[in-house]
Amino acid sequence: MMSVSLDLPFPPVMATTAQVASVSNLDVFSMVPVGCAFAVSSDDKLLMYTLVVVVAGAVTLILVAAMKNEMTSKLLQVYLMAVNFILPSVTRVIFSTFLCVDLDNGESWLVADKSIDCDDAGHKALVAYAWAMVVLICMGVPGGCFLLLWKNKEKIKQPVLVREKNKDLKYFSFLFEAYKPEYWYWEIVEMVRRIFMTGFLVVLARGSYEQIAICLVVSVAMLKSLSNRRPYVKVAGAPDNNNMAEAMLVQTIGTLVLCVLLKTGKEGEYGMLGEGELDLLMVACQFLFVTVLMWKTAKEGSKRALVAPELQRYEPEVDEEKEKLKKELEEEKREREREEEKEELKKELEEEKRKREEEKRINRELRSELELLKSKHE
């Protein structure tokens, strides 16, 4: 959650809203009631989260290498999708291992779990383990996915209507199917951004203005890049994912700006705002995404009212690809027709040549007969 990452005490309503609504705060493993059987510390969570990812990945890769068939391809697809889903949670737990608070008496305790002494030898060993997991998971997962996409980029860069029929791309299609062919890598950009915001953000000058400034720079740069490129494919009958992504980034930027007010305020006064007003603004900012999404959906839905979604899956952007394919097919057809015409002309020329040769032969025979007759007459 952003309040934890930025070390800021959010107002009560905002704190509750962020806790409920934040997707990046989703703790998949907490859904399993292991706490009823035994206590789970932050260090235990680190081991559970990371070992599940690493062991499951090792088993999956071994099976894929040993048996290359439809079942292992499906298994790899499930693993990649699951890791992509839980990566923000795993990243947050890994980086929380580095975050300690120093007390006046010289003691140092883990922020995520006040029962863990950061100076304990066992925890120090887990800090080294966590750094290894930063390389293996936080860098390895995006790196591995990028290599997979890079290896197949020529196939992925085919027009949408062509690449979606390619069976070789099915098991990792979720990494690129939402994006236009030329932005085959955009899921990795998003993955790195999520890891930065949920992981590296935790240890970057936590609680300082510099940390908020870095977050703002990253978010604004991402918004600018997204607005210029609009990498998502537009699908008929569904909200534009480009607008959704932009709304989420505007929401993040607005929250960060309000966090500056929250940090500078004292005793419930935040510039011209009171605590209740700031709380209301921060909550409203969280619902900006939903509001923009509903408005865009209604606006685009009215434009599509006369077009049945089943008649056209993709929006005009992708229809341009369809037209391009159609033109290419027509050009190929014309090329074939030209080749056929050349063949016909060649055949006609050969036939004409054969006739001329035949005529020459007949003429030679006639001349020979005439010469023979002439000689007999003499």
Residue 231 near residue 242, CB atoms below 8 Å: yes
Q: Is 100 helix (H, G, I), strand (E, B) or coil?
A: strand
CA gap 284, 291 in Å, rounded: 10
Angstrom distance (rounded) from CA 186 to CA 179: 7
Summarize pLDDT for 22-68 with one digit per residue, the tens.
Answer: 544 445 555 555 444 456 788 888 999 999 999 998 998 888 888 77
**Residue 218, CA atoms < 13 Å, CB-side half-sphere:** 19
Q: Going by C-beta distance under 8 Å and a sequence separation of 6 or more, which residues neighbour residue 316? A: 234
Closest CA to 42 of 120, 105, 103, 106: 120
Specify the pLDDT at position 139. 92
In one-letter notation, the amino acid at residue 186 is: W
Q: CB neighbours (10 Å) of residue 126? A: 19
Give whole-number Cα distances, 364 to 275, 351, 368, 377, in Å: 116, 20, 6, 20
User: For 91-129, what is each residue's pLDDT tens digit?
Assistant: 988 988 888 888 878 788 888 788 888 888 888 899 999
**Nearest to 64, CA basis, from 55, 54, 76, 53:** 76
Domain boundaries, the chain: 41-199
Residue 141: the pLDDT is: 92
Angle at 272 between CA 271 and CA 277, to 5 degrees: 105
Residues paired with 101 in a beta bridge: 109
Cβ 261 vs Cβ 278: under 8 Å:
yes
Q: Which two tokens stand for residue 259?
A: 């966090």
- In degrees, rounded to 5, the angle at the alpha carbon of residue 145 between the alpha carbons of residues 139 and 146 is 85
Contact between 245 and 226 under an 8 Å Cβ cutoff? The reply is yes
HSE of 66, CA atoms in CB hemisphere, 13 A: 7
Q: Which segments of the chain have a pLDDT < 50?
A: 1, 3-4, 23-26, 34-37, 302-313, 315-316
